[in-house]
Structure 1
Amino acid sequence: MKTSIPFLAIASVLIFSCESSKPQLTDEEYKALTDEQRRSPEYAVDGIEIMDDRLELTLFASEPMLTNPTNMDIDDRGRIWITEAYNYRTNLNPKNPTKAEGDRILILEDTDGDGKADQSTVFYQGTDINAALGIAVLGNKIFVSVSPNVFVFTDENGDDVPDSKEILFTGVGGVQHDHGMHAFTFAADGKLYFNYGNEGKGLHKGDGSPLLDPLGQPINSETAPYQEGMVFRCDPDGSNVELLGWNFRNNYELAVDSYGRMWQSDNDDDGNRSTRINFVMDYGNYGFKDEMTKSDWRTRRINMEDSVWQQHWHLNDPGVVPNLVQNYAGSPTGILVYEGKLLPAQYQNQVIHADAGPNVIRMYPVETSGAGFTGKAELILDGNTRDNWFRPSDVTVAPDGSIFISDWYDPGVGGHAVGDLDKGRVYRLAPKKSKYKVSAPDYSSVKSLIELLQNPNRAIHFKAFMALREKGAEAKEALEELYASEDPRMKARAFWLLTKLPHGDEYIKKAAADSDENIRVAAVRASRINGMKDSAFLLEMAADPSAQVRREVAVAIRYEDQPAVWQKLAESYQSGDRWYLEALGIAAEYRWDSYLSAYLEKTGSGWVESAEAKDLVWRSRAANTTELLEQLILAENSPADHRYYRALDFQNADLKNQTLKNLLAKGQNEDQVIILRQAIYDSKKPDAQLLNLAKAEAGVIADDRDFLDIVRKYGLKDQKDRLLAIAYQESDTRLAGTAANIFTSLYGYSEVEKAMKDPDQAKAIAAIRKFGVVDNRDMALLLAKIWSDPKANNEIRTAAMEEAKGYNSEPTLWEFAEKDQIPAELLPIAQKILMSSWNSNLRQLATEKYGESMGTNYDLPKMLAATGDEEKGKTLAATYCTPCHKIGTEGIDFGPGLSEIGDKLSKEALLNAIVNPSEGMGFGYETQLVKFKDGKEIRCIVNSKTENDLIVKLLGSGEQTIYKLADIESVTQLDESLMPKFPLSEQELVDLVGYLGTLRK
């Protein structure tokens, strides 16, 4: 039943907003406000800095009218549709308050014309839409994205009550998960575009049957090369689904411009300063995971990039489409292409984007560069300097050309937690003194429909498009007139409709000769959508002077056998245009053998001197590519970037290994370490040539990381001195820990025990500190020998007890504690270790034995009001945070990076993340229980899964561990974070949060 909240019920909240022209508070005035005032709707606009003084931000709606808006759309009447998430992540956080009746879809309306919402209508409420992440209002259909389903509600009579609800798509992973299905958008080509993040896993029809790609393969993350987040398009009725891109992390929403170009943001692996904006080239791999092994970006590889963001997206790997803009730290959300006229010219035709992490709205002016683009980020709104609870979740264009912004409004950015369930806002951004007025659209005549087709609001655009398409030939003349427009984007909008008329291919051929390269790009895209299958047309367009057009021709032939077209395209490739190179690779995916051999034959024997030919060989996946790469490696005499060695990883494994051994035989002495690292080696069936080389080379390897990799891989036992030197060094604790683990695995514990009992106390303590990091039962028992020895020095015993921590070591410590065998003087240290254990069972047992741990009844308001000692907080961070998190160059890369956590989380959110760690687990860092067939169990973070292996990170380790899937019985996600509730006092928490809050870019 339709439910409306009348104006009187919310007048007290919005009465202040009639003074929309009041000046924004100065910094001093804003600082003088209390926290309660700052969080109130009255001062909402004052908390957000507007970067352009020609623009004005007004509050359209706020709590209690709505709470927790996750996504937004605006219908053709100018009404704001909101998906709420009060019941956010209740599947992980059962303690969260919930509405038993489920979450709501709201329609917010300004009925009295003052520019403020005064009526809220509940369109639908139910538990089946809890924490929906997307809404699109297209005619009488409302598309709601809420994994595992995409619902389509139909309101036949326009009374704001759904007459039916059907499932359009299902089987999408990520129930109540931010990385599941996201919003749909209508594009000028008449298609719907949508995406899901890397929890999506796969897509099925409403009846549950799988959707297939053009090769008949199911569209899911188990079908190579598809993996992680994906991009799709379909017809408005859900038919003709196409998979257009993959290997994103959390591609939150898509924006498509009038030429049919796709733009998208993507979230990094939390805390690693690698969020990005992409131009989405069809059928591209976007590099979040290793294409072949599905390994995490941290996995060391040949030719690995220097910067984290390049490593993160595998940008040096053949087969990865480049990024457009790096945003570094962030939590990107809604995105649009602004094709309106109301905002000043600098905003027109730009990608505009909400980033909830740094509390900003940005735009990204781009310029063409070869087959791709260059871009930059420019701020529009900034809440970080004043109100860092401003969490923009979406941006949408209204019928009048103004921009509306939904605000999750929370101390955190979601993920798995919500800090505030009562607030939520919607703002309007427009030129000053621009009142919000929306006239009823007139869909009755061709003339009015042509006007509406040009509207920047997608709901109006959709209805006008469908109506004009229905009119067919009647609209032809008016569309041709619009096609002659001087506005190229409106020309493109007319073009797409003209292609839907009888003989639409004629308009495609006409557009293919247009002077504007973007119209020609649209022509090639339309030829594919229309299924022209015209080889002559494609061959002609392959000779286009614009690399942008040729890019589109390349992706258009991915599933077509078009050797002449591909050769023509390859002939115009210029080395350095990575977009173009990847487009050629996309086109040749299933025909590398024939395409590459023909290209090299035409190029001639001098191809090894051609930069373009070398690039194509590097990118290729032909049966003879390994032989060609071998020639390049020999010809270039160990090039500094080693990219050809890395390219071998994308070829047949047996051929790759043979090529590496060939290179050894041909005297590639400078590359022997690379070859040893890259070669496949089975310790159960050792290759004598490789093993002997490893033994010969290990002692002279310059890089400690290479040295450790090779000593571990080949099990070398003649490098004890250097292993010890690395273990004892102070400059890199991660390398020291790796060396200690390798040392004990190769030589056992007798020599370590001797060092820990050295008569020289300083040496003994150093050995305890350096080898105590080895986290297993053997080390725990060795440390117990020392701390339980009453004859040993107290400082040595204390050091041994302090190192008795670790997920695999603490059960052994508990065995002693349970039997009251821990000396009284060391008991406080043992209690602290056990009561802050990563193992929840141990924590509970220790609490039952020793009483409630500290921190069960914190006075949060008191702590929020207190000021911390940052230096003390820094010391606490070194104790509690860096064992599992990176802060700058310090710490272990196990949990999310904290180097800029002060930009992402408010003080409230930081406190909650520490006090209640299970409520805010970052995606990709959830606790996984792995049970092995032999009865063993581990709790860990799963980085990736391949056909044969499970790749995990064990507690407190930045290194990855590989287990064979054949040995694993099950992998289950647990609701409890691996991060324990640390036994900290209130003041210690205040100090720690005070320091963490300073960690900003």
Structure 2
Amino acid sequence: MHKTFLNQMPTLIKKVFFGGLIFCIALLSQSCKKEVQKKPFSLDEKYYSEKTQLYLPNDLEATLWAESPQFFNPTNMDVDAKGRIWVTEALNYRLFRNDPGKFKHHEEGDRVVILEDKDGDGVAESSKVFVQDKDLTAPLGISVIGDKVIVSSGPSVIIYTDSDGDDKPDNKEVFLTGFGGFDHDHGLHAMMAGPDGKYYFNAGNAGPHIVTDKSGWTLRSGSLYNGGSPHMIDNEPGMVSDDGKMWVGGIAMRINPDGTGLKVLGHNFRNSYELALDSYGNMWQNDNDDDGNKGVRVSWLMEGGNMGYFNTDGSRKWQADRRPGQTTAMAHWHQEDPGVIPFGDNTGSGSPTGITFYESDLLGEKYQGTLFASEAGRNVILAYKPEPTGAGFALNRHNLITSLKEEEVEDAKSRATDADKTKWFRPSDVVVGTDGAIYVADWYDGMVGGHRMIDSTGYGRIYRITPKGKNLPKPTIDLSTTQGQIAALKNPAVNVRNAGFALLAKQGSQAVEEVKAVLKDKNPYHQARAIWLLSNMGSEGIQAVENQLEADNPDLRLTAFRALRQVKTDILPYASKLSSDPSAAVRREVAVAMRDMPMNEVKAILIELASHHDGEDRYYVEALGLAMEGKEEEIYTALNQELGAEPLDWNPGFEDLTWRLHPKQAISGLKDRAMSEQLSDAQRKKAVTALGFINDQKAVNAMQEIAATNIADVKDQALWWLRYRRNNDWNEFAIDIPELKANLSPEIQKEMLTFKSVIESKSSPEAEKIKAAKAMAKDKTGGMMLIGLAEKEGLSDKLKSEISSVIFQNPEQAIRVLAGDYFSNPAESSPLAVADITALKGDATKGKQVYLGKCATCHQIGEEGRNIGPNLSMIGAKLDQNGLLDAITNPSAGVAFGYEMWLITLKDGTVAYGFLQADGPIVVLEGLQNEVYNIQASDIASRKRFGTSIMPKPSDLKMNEADISNLTAYLVGLNSETN
């Protein structure tokens, strides 16, 4: 139809014409492109293997394939074309927290070890060291891609090249460097070859990550997170990369094999241990929560997606942003904020580790398309069969392999030190071998998390999982022939496929026909691999990929579009064609591809994509949000014209888009909806929330109007938003509410500053200094000032001695505890005998009374106690009796992340102390009485983070051995919601 004719059609006729046309096309498309029906996934009943001490489904069996001393402390694995397993070791694991005098370690650096089953009996009898390097300190990732061995060991990705195949490195190259997280669990993780031939990898939130690729492009990612390691002191939020974007926290990345083209694919994780890709190009990961918050997740990662751990610039923790009524998991991942991707499956508590996607049928047809995720904290390998649901996926969890009975998996311990070693099964990685078997690395320790170990020997093991009663022979891969390269491309081992991919791509047009034949393979994942490869094989190959845009299987249409994006400069014809595809996942991918494209080129496509939103698909609206990023105001005008209505008549799709985009021009409409009693509570709340994300004085004014209404639900919400936003995004706007002060008490601070000046004055008599110091030592604020002076060595030995006689009676518990690092406690008692405590039989009933009398001032259990320190409601699901005993008697051995005490001194000499919640233009501390201090960053003179826990030792609380035994008996029973 001629364009001029279309322009002359009346708007209403156009809508009716195109609506009918699209409806007819959709009907035809649905008949031609039916969704692939998949059988429901379920596991066979489990049995217990005496030989391996594992529980497995009845159709699988396990063998102990390798164990120490063939290797030690395995952190990650990969498989080469010979079917050998490569392992990175971490004997030198966090030696700042694990005494090298007590734990096995390597002075010459950590190692990469090669393991092989040469005789095919299902057990590895060969072990050799490929490399030992002082630059390897507890490396967390390895990939073997051709003759290159890629090791991730913060701050660098190191490539060792074995040119002559003698299993010794001939060259060492620092491929990328500048990542944070040296000797830290939240650092740099494994690379893998994607189906497109590029390398994919990730890093945790232990930044800053300031990394420049070979083309000179620089990534900058950070947050306010500084913790867990003495090496981590300079992370910061709000950094901008060379693409103009602000990437935050943990990040997923892609890079070309030559070191150019570094690109961020997702961000704002806490610490995703590893990235896994399927052959369609879908990215999968798991991510750890803050300890004890039952927020661990297994997720599908949308390209460019914000996964919601911090706020958008990384300056605030989730606790600072938690809204009234939000559950911990929803707040932990900012799930109710526009711009955040759904978290997937919330697995509860745990310590997620390696992850892989199984695409073969060699393990059994039912396992094809299964995501395997290691969960070290809960002693289990989880299995998912992701089900496409709208623009995202549903993830239904199954316990595949575990050392525990099924009903005990939820009660697994991240610390288990009793005689029962079943909870020492700590899967650190899971990979697929060239034979189709699953290989599971077991870190084997009584503890995971907190950068600590219990096992001093470094023992580790690897299990091989195969179909019961079926031999899986190791294939011989001949890469010298085209058919051998095709066989490699089809291999179950992820990085082995890349050898076939690279050699076939090098052949180009000469091998196109052979690769096109793979498009007819019965395995859809093989078909997808052929699509990626054909896009790299010249015009004939690209034509074959373009034909796949018409495939019946939406996964293949989606793959074809992804592949064409990487090789074609003009993707708009494809995007326009697919913008009305019947598959929401295909349309989602079109939306993601539009993210950085000019408005004048993509306007019609965006409107078409938006017209399909029903208001129910969170993945889809987030993809639309990414597509419209930076274009919100302009596109909203167009969307309002095409899809909008009067504010109270918005349909669910337009309402959801407005919430996601929250443009300034929607302020009036959002205010009307928030104040309308015709709408439901949920609709009004959504409007208020959208207003809370608009940084404009008019939004502030609208919120103040809402706060003045008589509609109780929105009135309270609006008041909360005004108080909350005053301390961050709206701090520059006029807000008519009482201003929160930073100082604890101006008059007391002033008095303490006078005493401090006496101490610091060289002319003050000694007696006056002592009098002033003792007065300060009795006061909360003065005591913290003295600790600050002691930290800077601003006190004489005489003064320190005099202060010691007073400061340990300070009314503030935290000051009494922290003072122990700087002053001698004259009343210091001998430590309690742990052996005497363990010999006692604790009484849980009496233990609860100990909790109420000694612990509830800081720790909450259910509705009892105060929320200052970590919540203990589920502590029994995390620590066993010995673990609890150690935490109680030695509290500073492992300070929980986020509970480090900070002392902030302002330029006028006043101080504030507490837990850091936000670090931006306004620094937010939460005090020990749950009070909030909002401090202008420009007013700060110095900051001090303490490594000592503010939890007092039992002797400080006048607790004896019986008290601790009883308390431990009570706490260890807190292992389910019903408790």
Band the TM-score falls in, shorter-chain normalisation: 0.7 to 0.9
Whether 1:307 aligns to 2:327 is: yes
Provide, for residues 512-539 of structure 1, a one-character-per-residue CA deviation record: whole Å limited to 9, x for no partner.
Answer: 1111000111122112222332322211
Whether 1:567 aligns to 2:607 is: yes
Is the contact between residue 120 and residue 474 of structure 2 (CA under 8 Å) also seen in structure 1?
no
Equivalent residue pairs, number: 853
Provide, for residues 172-194 of structure 1, a one-character-per-residue CA deviation record: whole Å limited to 9, x for no partner.
Answer: 11111111111112221222211
Equivalent of 1:870 in 834, 841, 844? 844
**Alpha-carbon shift at residue 568 of structure 1 (Å):** 0.8
Whether 1:601 aligns to 2:641 is: yes
Is the contact between residue 75 and residue 137 of structure 1 (CA under 8 Å) also seen in structure 2?
yes
Is the contact between residue 535 and residue 564 of structure 2 (CA under 8 Å) also seen in structure 1?
no
Distance 2:614 2:67 in 1: 54
**575-584 vs 672-681, which moves further:** 672-681
Equivalent of 1:297 in 318, 325, 335? 318
Whether 1:158 aligns to 2:165 is: yes
**Alpha-carbon shift at residue 305 of structure 1 (Å):** 4.9
| Counterpart AA for 1:516 | N
Is the contact between residue 902 and residue 943 of structure 2 (CA under 8 Å) also seen in structure 1?
yes
Is the contact between residue 299 and residue 960 of structure 1 (CA under 8 Å) also seen in structure 2?
no
Counterpart in 1 of 2:252?
231
Whether 1:841 aligns to 2:813 is: no
Note the 1:911-930 alignment, pairs <5 A. 911-928=885-902, 930=904
Q: Residue 107 of structure 1: SS of its match in structure 2?
A: strand
Distance 1:273 1:957 in 2: 24
Q: Residue 252 of structure 1: SS of its match in structure 2?
A: strand
Is the contact between residue 392 and residue 619 of structure 2 (CA under 8 Å) also seen in structure 1?
yes
**Alpha-carbon shift at residue 688 of structure 1 (Å):** 14
| Counterpart AA for 1:548 | A
Whether 1:629 aligns to 2:665 is: no
Distance 1:487 1:187 in 2: 18
Provide, for residues 344-379 of structure 1, a one-character-per-residue CA deviation record: whole Å limited to 9, x for no partner.
Answer: 233221111001111111111222221112121100
Summarize the Cα distance change of 1:804–1:480 in structure 2 as closer, same or farther, 3 Å threshold: closer
Distance 2:209 2:923 in 1: 20
| Counterpart AA for 2:690 | A
Is the contact between residue 202 and residue 219 of structure 1 (CA under 8 Å) also seen in structure 2?
no
**Alpha-carbon shift at residue 263 of structure 1 (Å):** 1.0
Equivalent of 1:117 in 105, 120, 124? 124
Counterpart in 2 of 1:949?
922
Whether 1:850 aligns to 2:857 is: no
Counterpart in 2 of 1:320?
340
Equivalent of 1:141 in 145, 148, 151? 148
**Alpha-carbon shift at residue 884 of structure 1 (Å):** 3.6
Counterpart in 1 of 2:487?
451
Is the contact between residue 265 and residue 278 of structure 1 (CA under 8 Å) also seen in structure 2?
yes
Equivalent of 2:353 in 309, 333, 338? 333
**Alpha-carbon shift at residue 209 of structure 1 (Å):** 5.8
Summarize the Cα distance change of 1:858–1:247 in structure 2 as closer, same or farther, 3 Å threshold: same
Summarize the Cα distance change of 1:980–1:80 in structure 2 as closer, same or farther, 3 Å threshold: farther
Counterpart in 1 of 2:865?
891
| Counterpart AA for 1:66 | F
**936-945 vs 573-582, which moves further:** 936-945
Is the contact between residue 292 and residue 650 of structure 1 (CA under 8 Å) also seen in structure 2?
no
Distance 2:535 2:734 in 1: 64
Provide, for residues 3-53 of structure 1, a one-character-per-residue CA deviation record: whole Å limited to 9, x for no partner.
Answer: xxxxxxxxxxxxxxxxxxxx9577xxxxxxxxxxxxxxxx7x22x322x12
Distance 1:809 1:218 in 2: 35
**Alpha-carbon shift at residue 936 of structure 1 (Å):** 5.5
Is the contact between residue 776 and residue 786 of structure 2 (CA under 8 Å) also seen in structure 1?
no
Whether 1:541 aligns to 2:584 is: no
Summarize the Cα distance change of 1:925–1:67 in structure 2 as closer, same or farther, 3 Å threshold: farther
**Alpha-carbon shift at residue 879 of structure 1 (Å):** 4.8
Distance 2:813 2:778 in 1: 18
| Counterpart AA for 1:357 | G
Q: Residue 420 of structure 1: SS of its match in structure 2?
A: coil
Distance 1:993 1:650 in 2: 45
Counterpart in 2 of 1:904?
878
Is the contact between residue 787 and residue 822 of structure 2 (CA under 8 Å) also seen in structure 1?
no
**Alpha-carbon shift at residue 558 of structure 1 (Å):** 0.1
Provide, for residues 716-750 of structure 1, a one-character-per-residue CA deviation record: whole Å limited to 9, x for no partner.
Answer: xxxxxxxxxxxxxxxxxxxxxxxxx99x969999x
Note the 1:332-351 alignment, pairs <5 A. 332-351=352-371
Is the contact between residue 664 and residue 696 of structure 2 (CA under 8 Å) also seen in structure 1?
no
Counterpart in 1 of 2:21?
none
Provide, for residues 640-683 of structure 1, a one-character-per-residue CA deviation record: whole Å limited to 9, x for no partner.
Answer: 23121121222124232132245568887874443333236989
Counterpart in 2 of 1:174?
181
Is the contact between residue 202 and residue 221 of structure 1 (CA under 8 Å) also seen in structure 2?
no
| Counterpart AA for 1:632 | R
Note the 1:39-438 alignment, pairs <5 A. 45-46=52-53, 48-50=54-56, 52-93=57-98, 97=103, 98-205=105-212, 211=218, 225-291=246-312, 294-299=315-320, 304-384=324-404, 385=408, 387-422=422-457, 423-435=459-471, 437-438=473-474
Consecutive unaligned residues of structure 2, counting only runs of 5 or more, are 1-46, 222-237, 409-419, 750-771, 790-797
Q: Residue 463 of structure 2: SS of its match in structure 1?
A: strand
Equivalent of 1:474 in 493, 510, 518? 510
Is the contact between residue 626 and residue 648 of structure 1 (CA under 8 Å) also seen in structure 2?
yes
Summarize the Cα distance change of 1:490–1:119 in structure 2 as closer, same or farther, 3 Å threshold: same
CA RMSD of aligned residues (A): 4.0
Is the contact between residue 83 and residue 433 of structure 2 (CA under 8 Å) also seen in structure 1?
yes
Is the contact between residue 253 and residue 262 of structure 2 (CA under 8 Å) also seen in structure 1?
yes
**Alpha-carbon shift at residue 883 of structure 1 (Å):** 3.8
Summarize the Cα distance change of 1:167–1:491 in structure 2 as closer, same or farther, 3 Å threshold: same
Summarize the Cα distance change of 1:586–1:636 in structure 2 as closer, same or farther, 3 Å threshold: farther
**Alpha-carbon shift at residue 600 of structure 1 (Å):** 0.6
**Alpha-carbon shift at residue 317 of structure 1 (Å):** 1.4
Distance 2:815 2:718 in 1: 42
Whether 1:502 aligns to 2:475 is: no
Distance 2:205 2:107 in 1: 29
Is the contact between residue 201 and residue 221 of structure 1 (CA under 8 Å) also seen in structure 2?
no
Counterpart in 2 of 1:995?
970
| Counterpart AA for 1:329 | S
Distance 1:963 1:832 in 2: 25
**Alpha-carbon shift at residue 429 of structure 1 (Å):** 1.4
Counterpart in 1 of 2:519?
483
Distance 2:911 2:705 in 1: 42
| Counterpart AA for 2:81 | D
Distance 2:88 2:314 in 1: 38
Is the contact between residue 193 and residue 254 of structure 1 (CA under 8 Å) also seen in structure 2?
yes
Distance 1:682 1:950 in 2: 12
TM-score by length of structure 1 reads: 0.78
Distance 1:292 1:206 in 2: 23
Over the matched positions of the two proteins, sequence identity in percent amounts to 34
Summarize the Cα distance change of 1:154–1:924 in structure 2 as closer, same or farther, 3 Å threshold: farther
Summarize the Cα distance change of 1:174–1:918 in structure 2 as closer, same or farther, 3 Å threshold: farther
| Counterpart AA for 1:278 | S
Consecutive unaligned residues of structure 1, counting only runs of 5 or more, are 1-22, 27-42, 695-711, 716-740, 750-777, 786-802
Is the contact between residue 887 and residue 898 of structure 1 (CA under 8 Å) also seen in structure 2?
yes
Summarize the Cα distance change of 1:225–1:174 in structure 2 as closer, same or farther, 3 Å threshold: same
Distance 2:613 2:665 in 1: 22
| Counterpart AA for 2:938 | A
Summarize the Cα distance change of 1:682–1:171 in structure 2 as closer, same or farther, 3 Å threshold: closer
**Alpha-carbon shift at residue 626 of structure 1 (Å):** 2.3
Summarize the Cα distance change of 1:971–1:818 in structure 2 as closer, same or farther, 3 Å threshold: closer
**Alpha-carbon shift at residue 466 of structure 1 (Å):** 1.0
**Alpha-carbon shift at residue 212 of structure 1 (Å):** 5.1
TM-score by length of structure 2 reads: 0.79
**365-374 vs 262-271, which moves further:** 365-374
**Alpha-carbon shift at residue 804 of structure 1 (Å):** 13
Summarize the Cα distance change of 1:146–1:469 in structure 2 as closer, same or farther, 3 Å threshold: same
Equivalent of 2:686 in 624, 636, 643? 643
Summarize the Cα distance change of 1:118–1:867 in structure 2 as closer, same or farther, 3 Å threshold: farther
